[in-house]
Amino acid sequence: MSDERYILRNARALAEGYLRASIREGDSVIDATMGNGGDTRLLCRLVGPSGHVTAFDVQPEALRSTKAKLEAEGLLDRATLILAGHETMGDHVAGPVQAVVFNFGWLPGADHAVTTRCETSLRAAEAALRLLAPDGIVSLCVYPGHEEGARELSALVRWSAGLPVREFNVLHHRFINAADSTPNLILIQKNVQSGTKRQQEI
């Protein structure tokens, strides 16, 4: 079976499907957790030569490895890599943006102590909503298999479940036949016409 059709492989694969459906050439988008640049590279491909990706991380290694990845594919001119916490995204990006992608946790292969933190993750998710274009999406991949990730998941679920239904549609994916530690995906889409009936009611 082709990888592309294995859509329920994991939370990241699910997120990718939604991002592919939502992002068009020329869009401006944000990678809120750059890491080793896998998501930044995907976003650069999706926005094409006329679009732009702004990516954040707090670790210089993340910027180095992402830069190398993008350079190798000639994608670097589509991206701005910023060494700063994602909770500051509103200071760096004017918006509107079509997508903001979060892949929480730590940099693979690096110190696990440098992980995303519940409080800043929530502030960043709030900042992302303020930058979102109508019909834009925020994708949140959350890893409850470690203590901080479990806190992050419950805080993000509580917060996103309380968002006004006239402004946002919120979907929570979790693999119900797998361990509780399995990554979850939360998606938030800004309603095209805030103030009208939400999509599910139409």
* Positions in the binding site for ligand SAM (CB under 6 A): 33, 35-39, 56-59, 62, 85-87, 103, 105-107, 114, 116, 120
Identify whether the C-beta of residue 31 lies closer than 8 Å to the C-beta of residue 40. Answer: yes
Q: Which is nearer to ligand SAM, 64 or 166 (CB)?
A: 64
Closest distance to ligand SAM from the beta carbon of 103 (Å): 4
Closest distance to ligand SAM from the beta carbon of 77 (Å): 19
Q: Which of 137, 97, 142, 99 is nearest to 122 (CA)?
A: 142
Closest distance to ligand SAM from the beta carbon of 195 (Å): 32
Identify whether the C-beta of residue 86 lies closer than 8 Å to the C-beta of residue 119. Answer: no
CA–CA gap between residue 76 and residue 93 (Å, rounded):
18
Identify whether the C-beta of residue 156 lies closer than 8 Å to the C-beta of residue 120. Answer: no
Residue 166's CB is within 10 A of a number of other CB atoms, namely: 13
Q: Please give the residue whose beta carbon sits closest to ligand SAM in the complex.
A: 35
Closest distance to ligand SAM from the beta carbon of 16 (Å): 11
Q: Which is nearer to ligand SAM, 85 or 90 (CB)?
A: 85
Q: Which is nearer to ligand SAM, 27 or 152 (CB)?
A: 152
Closest distance to ligand SAM from the beta carbon of 66 (Å): 8
Q: Which is nearer to ligand SAM, 97 or 191 (CB)?
A: 97
Identify whether the C-beta of residue 70 lies closer than 8 Å to the C-beta of residue 41. Answer: yes
Q: Which is nearer to ligand SAM, 33 or 191 (CB)?
A: 33
Strand order in the sheet with 184-190: 79-83, 52-57, 28-31, 97-103, 132-142, 184-190, 168-173
